[in-house]
Amino acid sequence: MLNDLKKQTIIKFSYSLKLTVACLILLAILTTWGTIYQADNGLYAAKAKFFTSWFFLAGGFIPLPGAALVLSVLFLNLISSMIFRIGLRLKNIGNLLTHLGILILLIGGFFTFLFSQESVLMLKEGEKSSWSNSYHAWELSVWKDVQGIRHFSSISFNDLDKDEKINFPDFPISIRVKEAFRNASAFRDRERSVSADMLNASGIVSIDKKNTDPEPEANIPGLVLFSEDLKKDILLYGGENIHTSAEIKGDIYNFLLRKLRKKLPLELGLLDFRIKKYPGSEIVKSYESTVEIRHDDLKREVIISMNKPLRYKEYTFFQSRYQITPAGVEYSIFAIVKNSGRLLPYISSIVVFIGMLIHFIIMLFRRKKEDSSLQKGN
């Protein structure tokens, strides 16, 4: 049955070496192009255009396959080749393992692409938190305090559309989005005080749209909301660090546009941050943080340093950067990655390595056999 299947044109095409080579060449071109593109447009834009896309338009009108598509085709080609071309024979075990390893690598890449989440946490010495922030996604956060208990409602900035009403299930307020700019400038006018029909805590009187930056972290959003209850505009800007409050129907509501927060499976507290430099130089030798982590009523101290992250379930906490304010306050910045497929590359590399080793040894023996049979023939 396998043999019958093998002869069908479509199947034949699926395991053809020509398809393999075509995919590899396309991938090589995309890699080179995407690398050069990075120099001018930044990593994020290059990734979005060449590497995580299915298609992209070259020069604005020629559709070309992106790396996601090419890798998917290569993935199918690989499976088909393993079944129909290489075959499950013992003498091909090395070859088979090598390709199986690459298959796992592609699966791992796909997993990471779909499910991995990256966020960041910045802590001052003595501070603790069980929330991390997104690198570049924003949210509108609204809250009110009732008898000492804080009630929250958060909406992702991406879900806010112009002229649409925001639905707050727990709050009996009516808010409409007047403007939502992905990248904006905010202006404080010294001449003018904030007018009576406008609310903002940091004295902002207008928000203008700006062109979006290819590096998403450079974009700071602006939001103009309209309270139907108060008949007033609420101006919010991503660069603000204080919230704007408004009294609506007898309750004080607080509004803040901030980086999207993610709940962590544990609470992290920074006890101490240390930085070591080589004597007589500004070259940083190492930096590390002593943190206290608390989860399920368990408390322990851990040191997180460069090249030595903290692993917890599918989360990994890395010592990423640090910041020291002119006043000498030390902040430690942790990168947090949630990736359930993170072990796949490790498995894959071991499989490929064993595969290549076996393949090479078998080749060597086969060569020797051929040589000796040739000599016998002579």
Q: Give the footprint of another protein on this chain (CB under 8 A).
A: 16-18, 20-21, 24-25, 27-28, 31-32, 34-36, 38-39, 43, 46-47, 51, 105, 108-109, 112, 116, 118, 277-281, 283-287, 306-309, 316, 318, 320, 335-337, 339, 342, 345-346, 348-349, 352-353, 356, 360
* Shortest Cβ 323–another protein spacing (Å): 15
Q: How many angstroms separate the CA atoms of 82 and 176, rounded? A: 57
* Shortest Cβ 149–another protein spacing (Å): 35
Nearest residue (CB) to another protein, 183 versus 349: 349
Nearest residue (CB) to another protein, 253 versus 318: 318
139 closest CA partner among 290, 301, 255, 15: 255
Q: Are 42 and 216 in contact (CB under 8 A)?
A: no
* Shortest Cβ 239–another protein spacing (Å): 26
Alpha helices in 81-197 (DSSP H): 93-115
Backbone φ, ψ for residue 63 (5° rounding): -75, 130
Q: Are 260 and 139 in contact (CB under 8 A)?
A: yes
Give the DSSP H/E element, type plus range, for residue 183. Answer: none
Nearest residue (CB) to another protein, 155 versus 333: 333
Q: How many angstroms separate the CA atoms of 204 and 190, rounded? A: 10
Nearest residue (CB) to another protein, 32 versus 323: 32
* Shortest Cβ 318–another protein spacing (Å): 5
* Shortest Cβ 104–another protein spacing (Å): 11
Both tokens assigned to 201: 């805590």
- Give 203-210's long-range contacts (Cβ < 8 A, gap of 24+): 204/235, 204/237, 204/240, 205/235, 206/235, 207/179, 207/181, 207/235, 207/237, 208/181, 208/184, 209/179, 209/181, 209/183, 209/184, 210/181, 210/183, 210/184, 210/185
* Shortest Cβ 366–another protein spacing (Å): 14
Q: How many angstroms separate the CA atoms of 72 and 83, rounded? A: 17
Nearest residue (CB) to another protein, 151 versus 277: 277
* Shortest Cβ 16–another protein spacing (Å): 8
Nearest residue (CB) to another protein, 187 versus 365: 365
Nearest residue (CB) to another protein, 17 versus 329: 17
Q: Are 284 and 319 in contact (CB under 8 A)?
A: no
